[in-house]
A and B are shown apart, each in its own frame.
Chain A
Amino acid sequence: MNNKEFISQLATRTGFTVKDTTALMAALTTEMAAQLEEENSINIFGFGSFEVKKKLERVVINPSTKQRMLVPPKMTLSFKPSTTLKEKK
């Protein structure tokens, strides 16, 4: 299901117009992004949690060229489904 289908289904379920729903979703995602950027974790009960994890820098080797590269540290977003969601699937 792509974003368009998602928005239209959301619109029918919430009663907002598609336009409003799109705007609300944009606001929601920017808010989530803002929270995650500050390394806050977002915990949605019954769905799962979004968490920012720090990955250390490391050295990797290109197996074909044997070239060694230093991969810089980075922050990644991880999602952990809640146990209730895990059981349902």
Chain B
Amino acid sequence: MDKITLSELADALAKRKSLTKKDAEAFVRVVFDTIRENLLEDELVKVKGLGTFKLVQVDSRESVHVNTGERIVIDSHSKITFTPDKSLADCVNRPFAAFETVILNDETRTEDMERIDPVEEPEPVVEEPAVEEPVAEPEPAVEEPVAEPEPVVEESVAEPEPEPVVEVPVAEPELEPVVEEPVEEPEPEPVVVPVMETVVEPEPEAIVEPEPEAIVEPEPEAFVEPEPEPIIDPEPEPVEPEPAPVVGNETPAKGNGSSSRIWLWAAILLIVAGVGYWLKVNDKLNFGPKNPKTELVAEKAEEVPVQQPEPAVVEEDSTVVTEPEQKDTTAVAIVTKADAEKLAADYPQIENGEYWITGIKTEHVLEKGEDLSILAKKYYDDKRLISYIIRMNHYTNAQASNLFVGAKVKIPELVKRN
């Protein structure tokens, strides 16, 4: 750990090359002068066996003064970087050269990372079904039988819905929620919608989509519809979410006959304005005969599924993936944390290491020709575990590589971490 100066370097060089000290020192001085001058001129100097010196331009940037908190501008300047030669880097890293990057399995440390994953995953999962629908439907648009199975698929996703539909009207018969809903719902949905409609064409499809669903089943439709509708209706109709459930509740009587007509309409025209207008007409017709009660129920039905499907969908997809993982990691964490505290108090440990040091296996007296890596090989059959021996004995790297014969080396007892 000494500090070597230029003159000491020159002394060593003089001995190696049988030069006079004076010559050697002059030579070394010229070497570094040359590097420096060429660096300032050329911006790059390569020296074999040492490395590459480089001048790198740093752009000016704004920063905050550490003490005063003022904003200050750091001018652009150049800085010197040094990249050691491969041979020199290897030479310096020799004590650790035997180590290799190890791919880890489940371990305590990564809890934090896994906690982020479930948050990231559900989002695309929620969006995907929304994106898939408009893509999947345009093709079957002409054929009726193909169009029908799709709502069936949605049913399975929307299964938990019916219950809340029954519950809510009983619990809250007031009118207030009715006023709130139209305000609340359009907000979350448009967030999803823009994703679907980055392409211009999906729009008409999105409009076609709600109709058949509305006819076949009122429940899932309530959960799908709000997405496309806010886009079409804004111009003429003040009450946006209402029309959807209205169509749903009234039209089932007409049945599949009208659904085929709708599909034909959609397939032939595929025009936003046309279908939108048709929708509007349909809605107005249905508005009159409607009871206020059924509207209430319809809106409740809409409200509840809109809030619930998201968690429902998220759960279905993510629980499968994340839950077992979380259980595993927590189980491991409990075991290892308790142990870790105890072990860390008793013996030096290697953070994030593959093994725990749980005790002293034996004390080895170094003999001639032995070094720590040989001991690691002898006791563990793996010389990479030398680092645990070093750790156990609190050696520095310099000490570890310069042990004398007769030195007493503690050999730690190792237990694999889970």
Contact = CB atoms under 8 A, between A and B. Distances in A.
A40 to B, nearest CB: 5
B28 to A, nearest CB: 6
Interface in A29-67: 29-33, 35-48, 52, 54, 56-59, 61, 66-67
Given A27-B13, A31-B16, A36-B92, A75 B30 contact: no
Given A27-B16, A28-B28, A68-B103, A56 B84 contact: no
A24 B34 contact: no
Interface string B394-406: 0011100000000
User: Could you say which of A2, A23, A31, A58 has the most chain B C-beta atoms within 10 Å of its C-beta?
Assistant: A31
Given A14-B27, A77-B89, A27 B17 contact: yes
A81 B132 CA distance: 58
Given A13-B30, A57-B350, A76 B55 contact: no
A75 B44 CA distance: 25
Contacts, number: 185
Interface residues of B, number: 69
B415 interface: no
A38 B398 contact: yes
B49 A25 contact: yes
Given A14-B26, A59-B352, A41 B3 contact: yes
**On chain A, which size bracket covers the interface?**
35 or more
B3 A86 contact: no
A69 B16 CA distance: 43
Contacts of B380: none
Interface of A: 1-3, 6, 9-10, 13-14, 16, 23-33, 35-48, 52, 54, 56-59, 61, 66-79, 81, 85-86, 88-89
Interface of B: 1-6, 9, 12-13, 16-17, 26-28, 30-32, 34-36, 38-40, 42, 44-51, 53, 55, 77-80, 82, 84, 87-89, 91-96, 99-104, 107, 109-110, 113, 117, 350-354, 387, 396-398
- A-B pairs, 3 with minimum CB distance: A72-B99, A29-B49, A79-B82
